[in-house]
Chains A and B, each alone.
Chain A
Amino acid sequence: MIVTERKEIEEIFNSIKGYKKILVLGCNGCTAVQNVGGEKQAEELALLIKLKLGVVADFSSLLRQCERELVAEELSNKINEYDCILSLACGAGVQTVAELFDLPVLPASNTMFIGSHSRELSILQEKCIACGDCILALTAGICPKARCAKGLLNGPCGGQYQGKCEVGGYTKPCAWVQIWERLKKQGRLEIFKEFRPLADYRKSSSPREMRWEYI
């Protein structure tokens, strides 16, 4: 999922300064799963804005803010009375809403990464950098582009000690040691020994677009 984090409240207040009628818009996709930007959080934020800034702040939420037709259908009749939308969605959601309407759409969250979550460990971890060239088959299902601080294709580097990475003070695991451990366990160490050629960064060069052929 797309992992987001709500901005500091001062930054949000600063960005909506001068607006009198605000629609706080939650997204019930990824960000709701994390309890960061769903309907409940939109309601709480709207209340806070009302109390602290004394302006009109209503809330609403959509199933997904990143789906253009869905956003248009749900919001077109609602937004006329507002002078700005404060979106709790990820960057993709904010931009989709902003494309559709003339009024300012402001982000209330920072989009962090594509990751997974563990309730048990209370942790969200980056897992994928959306490189457009998946190599997980060669790396035992652990992505070094996302999980190695240097994004190396031929790791580990000299910066690991006891399987921990020097970046961050030896607190996080070295992805390449994890890859080695898992491939060894699976009896696939031959794959580890292979030299990985240079990446083609055109596949991840912004702005990316593709034809949607699955409709």
Chain B
Amino acid sequence: MNSRLMNELKEGKFVFTGELEPRKITDLAEIVEEAKSLKGYVTACNVTDNPGSNACFSSLVCSYIVQRDAGVETIYQLTCRDRNRLALFSDLLGACALGIKNVLALTGDHPSLGDFPEAKPVFDLDSAQLVYMIRRMIDKGEDLKGNKIKGEVKLHVGVAVNPNADPLEPELLKFERKIKVGAEFAQTQVVFDIATIEKFFETLDSLSIPEIPILIGIFPLKSYGVAQFFDKHVPGVKVPEELMERMKKASEISDKKKRREKYDEINLEYFSELIKEIKKTKARGCHVMAVHYVSMIKALIEETRG
């Protein structure tokens, strides 16, 4: 396999992936620097595709440039929100030529949540159908109509799953459909507590969902504001009270440097403990989504290595 991510998962390594979020920019220097600083810590980095339905820099171009200039393997996020089956197919062929190895097939948020709420939502395919299409390209070397593709399609396809979903069962049955059509790995929505993760794996088992490597999404909290955002604005995501309390206390420290240090201390303690607990479950890795909090990602990976 030419994908480092898939090789490490196959070897049974506990894998860390990071996340890069190109916004409204034309120059990727900062993103490339961020990726460089994660090199040696994460196995691969996701590159978001118009996150939150906000129009941003192309995830495909960013995925390519990060691999080329930072030497970090990328997981190219591709959503069905903005492209019909023709556009998805042609971007995927482009991804092959650019040496992209991993694709995360996503439905995508609804445009009404982003900065162009008036936009026409596409959703010609959904994430399960996108996985189906990609696997046809990989396995049969064909498009959806059976037309042959000249050259190899060396992609690996991952999907998302949400352990916070309530009810959880329909979410997991949908996950099962994605696995059945060929998803090779999964990354989850942000989770803050081990109980949710344990319940998630238990429910997967009780529903007899076939196993694929799952990376649990975690999000170290750079500030109390970030913690509040998750707690209040991301339904289903609950930051544990104790952690919220500690973050709040830290936010009251007036000295900026000391406040920063306190935040770091809390995060390192809380999330290294969480990662250690995650390692005891069936999870095969962690997807660390703390964009612009590289120092913490590195510290956590150092702390929980081995």
Contacts and interface: CB of A to CB of B under 8 A. Distances in A.
A150 B123 contact: yes
A197 interface: yes
Nearest to A178: B170
Residue with the greatest number of chain B CB neighbours at <10 A, chosen from A176, A196, A198, A201:
A198
A153 B129 contact: yes
Residue with the greatest number of chain A CB neighbours at <10 A, chosen from B110, B170, B181:
B170
A163 B162 contact: no
B109 interface: yes
Contacts of A193: 173, 176-177
Nearest to B188: A158
A158 B110 CA distance: 11
Contact of B113 (A156, A166, A180, A197): A166
Contact of B166 (A155, A162, A197): A162
Nearest to B235: A161
Contacts of B124: 198-199, 201
A149 B181 CA distance: 24
A162 B173 CA distance: 16
B125 interface: yes
Given A161-B236, A166-B235, A155 B174 contact: yes
Contacts of B165: 156, 158, 160-161
B113 to A, nearest CB: 7
Contact of B177 (A159, A161, A195): A195
B112 interface: yes
Contacts of A47: none
B173 A192 contact: yes
B191 to A, nearest CB: 13
A153 B169 CA distance: 17
A198 B109 contact: no
Contact of A177 (B107, B144, B167, B177): B167
Interface string B90-111: 0000000000000000010110
B126 A161 contact: no
Contacts of B133: 198
A167 B109 CA distance: 9
A192 B172 CA distance: 11
Nearest to B123: A150
Contacts of A160: 165, 171
Nearest to B109: A159
B85 interface: yes
Contacts of A150: 107, 110, 121, 123, 126
B189 interface: yes
B59 interface: no
Residue with the greatest number of chain A CB neighbours at <10 A, chosen from B110, B121, B126:
B126
Contacts of A157: 107, 126-127
Given A161-B166, A167-B112, A198-B85, A154 B129 contact: yes
Interface in A140-190: 149-163, 166-168, 170, 176-177, 180, 189
Given A158-B189, A201-B124, 18 more contacts: A149-B110, A150-B107, A152-B123, A154-B174, A155-B174, A158-B162, A158-B171, A160-B171, A161-B236, A176-B170, A192-B170, A193-B176, A195-B132, A195-B180, A195-B181, A198-B124, A198-B129, A198-B132
Interface of A: 149-163, 166-168, 170, 176-177, 180, 189, 192-199, 201
15 contacts: A149-B112, A154-B127, A154-B177, A158-B189, A159-B110, A160-B165, A162-B167, A176-B170, A189-B173, A195-B128, A195-B177, A197-B132, A198-B85, A198-B124, A198-B132
